Structure 1
Amino acid sequence: MTLRFVFMLTRHDRTVPDAMVYLKAAQAVGIQDIGFKDIGLPPAQLKDLNEAIHAGGATSYLEVVSLDREWEIESAKAATKIGVDALLGGTRVGDVLPILQGTGIRYYPFPGRITGHPSVLEGSIEEIVDSARVLCKFEGVHGLDLLAYRSREDAPTLMKAVCEAVDKPVIVAGSIDTPERIGVVQRSGAAAFTIGTAVLDGKYPATRKDTRGQLSAVLRDIRRLCK
């Protein structure tokens, strides 16, 4: 199974001001899935960023980190105006699905209870699995955005339980910063994972700390794991 890597142009759950610079580095090494958050840059700049992602042939993702209903609704509307390919995060499926209807945007909400910023996943494994099952019953939900390493529960056990409980793809987001954690994601049956801060801060284990070196190391490790 191929494991997809979504490179997030974000640090600590905010789109970085110099996202375009990092985007060029991602395009140089052939990253095919690139995302950003709904905060950090104004909508006009996010639209420009999205257009640049598409111009390079990559799929674009907008991840919602807002906590109140009104903000989440506005973020979903912004996703349609920006023209992203996928909307990640958020929890208010009943409010978001009507906004996305007919747009072609794929939707991956958060299972479980989300608190704080940066986002934290609350609840037991059983509660999160139950939430995942409920979400995946909605026809307009294409998959899940799971904050496994932002939970107090055992992340590998949580990932495996959610992936086994649903028949839609799971994207694991947040705090993935080592080859070992990528390996855990791959073995859990998840379809994809995201990395943002670790790459931008040069924290991913690699011989080079620059963005291109970091991204190349991630791609190398995915190839090794998915042989």
Structure 2
Amino acid sequence: MKQCDFIFMLTRNDRTVPDAARHVETACKAGIRHIGFKDVGLPFTALRDLTRQIRAGSASIYLEVVSLDRESEIRSVEAAVDLGVDYLLGGTHVEDVVRLLEDSKIRYYPFPGRIVGHPSILMGSTSDIVASARTLAAYSGVHGLDLLAYRSANDGPSLIKAVCSAIDKPVIIAGSVDRPERIEAIRKGGAAGFTVGTSALDGRFPGGGPNLDDQLAAIAGFAG
């Protein structure tokens, strides 16, 4: 079974936390090499500082878009380009985003399926979501997908397997990855990585203490 990338998100309930900079320091000392934040919760100047801090810690930088309207998403994409992040996760306005990222080196992983609300929820049947995944993966400017498998009414492990087997691009599982069993299902399903934010910050994972450094070590161990 291949290893999945553990992407530590500096977020709680789909918002970047005010003390994100402190958590970056902890994560980098723990050897975490994939760190991200959301497009809501902190002003742009603070996100710029976070980007510099993560880069200095030799980690890849992920920005996940949770804004649902087109105008907000475009502003977030423009911010991602300005910040120089490595990966742009989420969002739903794919044609607009592909065009905006055309001259950048950012790797783009949009949400398949229909996304509603905040925190984001994935709507639709497994077949609908797989069809959406195939459509998105056909874009040359789409490098992978950001799947809210555990924010769906569908069976999470089955949905992960269905989407990963339907496309030939990497899939990251985001949202409510809050226990070892879900990480195991993500790995078995063929996903390339997964994000954890709230659960790590709140000390929910077993196998480690409640402190963030212990949580990060435990989650990294479950990732393989």
The bucket for the TM-score relative to the shorter chain is: over 0.9
Within 5 Å, which residues of 2 pair with 1:182-197? 182-197=183-198
What residue in structure 1 maps to residue 91 of structure 2?
90
Q: Is the 8 A contact 2:208 2:217 kept in 1?
A: no
Code of the aligned partner of 2:33: Q
The structural deviation recorded for 1:57 is: 0.3
Alpha-carbon distance between aligned partners in 2 of 1:201 and 1:218, rounded to the nearest angstrom: 13
Alpha-carbon distance between aligned partners in 1 of 2:57 and 2:7, rounded to the nearest angstrom: 15
Alpha-carbon distance between aligned partners in 2 of 1:68 and 1:205, rounded to the nearest angstrom: 37
Q: Is the 8 A contact 1:88 1:108 kept in 2?
A: yes
Q: Is the 8 A contact 1:47 1:83 kept in 2?
A: no
Query: How many pairs are equivalent?
Result: 223
| Aligned partner of residue 174 in structure 1, secondary structure | coil
After superposition, the C-alpha distances for 1:109-149 in whole angstroms (9 at most, x for unaligned) are 00000000000000000000000000000001000000000
After superposition, the C-alpha distances for 1:157-203 in whole angstroms (9 at most, x for unaligned) are 10000000000000000001111110000000000000000000111
Q: Is the 8 A contact 2:80 2:88 kept in 1?
A: yes
2:219 is equivalent to residue 218 of structure 1: yes
The CA RMSD over aligned residues, in Å, is: 0.7
Code of the aligned partner of 2:96: D
Code of the aligned partner of 1:111: P
Alpha-carbon distance between aligned partners in 2 of 1:163 and 1:41, rounded to the nearest angstrom: 33
After superposition, the C-alpha distances for 1:19-68 in whole angstroms (9 at most, x for unaligned) are 01111110111000000000100011101101110110000000000010
Alpha-carbon distance between aligned partners in 1 of 2:142 and 2:49, rounded to the nearest angstrom: 26
The structural deviation recorded for 1:206 is: 2.9
Alpha-carbon distance between aligned partners in 1 of 2:80 and 2:66, rounded to the nearest angstrom: 13
* Matched-pair identity in %: 57
- Unaligned 5+ segments in structure 1 are none
The structural deviation recorded for 1:105 is: 0.3
Code of the aligned partner of 1:17: P
Q: Is the 8 A contact 2:148 2:173 kept in 1?
A: yes
Alpha-carbon distance between aligned partners in 2 of 1:85 and 1:173, rounded to the nearest angstrom: 17
Within 5 Å, which residues of 2 pair with 1:1-227? 1-223=2-224
The structural deviation recorded for 1:222 is: 2.1
Off by >3 Å, runs of 4+ in structure 1: none
Alpha-carbon distance between aligned partners in 2 of 1:213 and 1:195, rounded to the nearest angstrom: 14
